[in-house]
Amino acid sequence: MSDIGRERRRRWAEEQLAGLPHLSAPQRRFLSVPLMESGWQLLVHRSGVLRGRPVAFAVGRTGVYALVFTDDIPEIEQLRRIRRYAEETFGGLLLGRRQYVPHMLEVMLLMGKAVRTQAHDPYLAVDETTMRSTLLNGEQKLTPQRARDCVAAVLARDQQYSWISTANAPRAEITSADGLFGVEELREDERTRVLRRPFEEWMTFLDPDQLGYVSVNFNGPARFSGPAGTGKTVVALHRMARFAKNNPGKLLFTSFVKTLPAHHQSGFARIAERHADRAEFIGLHAWAMRFLNRRRVKFDLAEDGQVVTAFARAWSAGRHELSRIPDTDRNYWEDEVKRVIKGRGIDSFDDYEKISRPGRDGVRLSGPRKKLVWDNFYLPYQARLAEKNLDDFNDIVRKAIAELRIRPLVGAEKFGMVVVDEVQDFTLQELRLVLEIAGGGSEAQLLLVGDGQQQVYSGGWKLSDAGIPLAGRGRVLRTNFRNRAAILRYAKRIEAADTVDDLDGGTGFVLRDSDGVLDGGTVIEKSIPRADLDTELVRAITESGMTASNCAVLVNTNHEAAHYQQVLESAGLSALLLEHYNGTQHSAIEVGTVYRAKGLDFAAVFRIAEPIPRGNNPADRDRAELLARQHLVAVTRARDYLWVGLVGD
């Protein structure tokens, strides 16, 4: 904006504020700051400064700010009253089918001389020199149209505010010298381009049901469940943001999928910028190893090859005996050790003999058969690790639990809130670990997020088995917000557990019963000879017209992922393995397994899948259902476009 244009804008702002005689000159100078910028709306209370209430609201690209004139930092109770009143003013604003998320607003103290604020402070403190940069520097949360819609919705139900919109300000005159724009014009043009960028509305607007789950108060561990695409993780991130804005202390977001926390860290930073450094996003195994190192607890994690060798030795020792149990192979018994025996923390045969095996009871194990497994596979595997003084991940978890029970987290180590995503694929021991991290007991601020229908690992449990008391603190999300209609219809046809539990033994809610809100979408399914898969995949991606950075190729194994990455790169397409993805923007097609894709979504998914075999015996049915759940997870990652290549002759 030229000097002439800025002067015209300043005079316009003064004229608008002159109509509010209860404001002092310094107060008018403060309120003129947002009026000097494009895309901002100002609501000013007609009654002047009211104790315990904001005098005005500034609404623009970086969000909603409740403005409070003060000489000193108010007491905490007064700050809470101010925030409560501000959230009530903007709460319940229904725009289309979504509501503004009131905890997204910030309380801004307008002071003669600003004080330094900390990340945990429930306010921003600015003076006339810092107010502008504070308003403008931040992630985009509202488009200009959404900002106007919010203000109009407030005025529609509350007439005690005057509305001043910069849409009515005089337009800047474009002047040039020697054919070049001035610096200020270029900055203004850049701000305009930023305002036009697309952004994710889930940051600022949620479905009313989702918003209700964000704000409900729990006095202990809680669980959010629901089918794919219902926004469970979005709600969990907003609960973290709301907690951070109202409470001190650190926050932890963890998952069994090691790359998933890094992906969601960027989302949290967008909805709670000032509190991002208080939140830790890390895979559970990585957290446990760092914790043990900090506590100087000795461990030596076995490399993948060493674990493979240990299981190979165990299979050599027990193959003859275990082959007598039908419908099993080496992979089956490896899962039995990882997910059932060590995953449940079992260290004696008597305990193993007593347990049930949810999700694996297609292969029935009597006491004598369990004895075969224990003596001929589990014990040889353990002996090999002990021989090399090695620990596997189950041992890391066990040691972390033992250390926490002896010396719980205290002081700066403690977390005020712990969120666990994709909890359905945790082992029982991992559940016990996150409960200990959250402080244990019935008052732990622990939120578990998951969906039994999306379980992609064998073996099961109930939350109560881990000593996690829910006591009615479970909620189910039922509306699909991710998948367009065609993709949702396709996913509903997949026979992936028509009945699932709610992660604690009750009846769950499946995708087939959910309702979608998005129309359209494209689904292509083809049966392709194995020899033609590489060519057909490249052709499908090229003909889709989808942007590479919005595409993912999802397969079942790491070997397949490496192969298709090479196929795409040989065809001149940029490809990135999902295991290397950290949530930042890039221009490559992502390639990875269903396991790595859990919790993520993409505009387009290209899925390579084997037809799901069907058998009559219980073991075949267990295997078929697990494969079907994996396929369901893969296809529901797609928002707009889904291509499925079924391997066949």
Residue with tokens 């996913």: 491
Q: Is 589 helix (H, G, I), strand (E, B) or coil?
A: strand
Q: What order do you get walking across the sheet with 222-225 strand by strand?
A: 279-281, 250-255, 415-421, 446-450, 222-225, 474-476
User: Which of these, 356, 342, 353, lies nearest to 314 by C-alpha position?
Assistant: 342
226 is in an annotated binding site: yes
231 is in an annotated binding site: yes
End-to-end distance of the chain based on CA atoms, in angstroms? 66
Cα gap 274→268, rounded to integer Å: 10
Residues forming a β-bridge with 391 = 301
Cα gap 597→456, rounded to integer Å: 11
- Gyration radius of the chain's alpha carbons: 28
DSSP-H helix ranges across 545-581: 558-570
Q: Identify the burial level of 465 via C-beta atoms within 10 angstroms of its C-beta, where 0-12 means exposed, 13-18 middle and 19 or more buried.
A: middle
The amino acid occupying position 303 is: E
212 is in an annotated binding site: no
Rounded to 10 deg, the angle between the 393-406 and 428-437 helix axes is 30
Cα gap 504→522, rounded to integer Å: 36
230 is in an annotated binding site: yes
Q: Identify the burial level of 205 via C-beta atoms within 10 angstroms of its C-beta, where 0-12 means exposed, 13-18 middle and 19 or more buried.
A: buried
8 A C-beta contact, residue 471 and residue 506: no
CA 509-606-558 angle, to 5 degrees, is 90
The binding site for ATP comprises 226-233
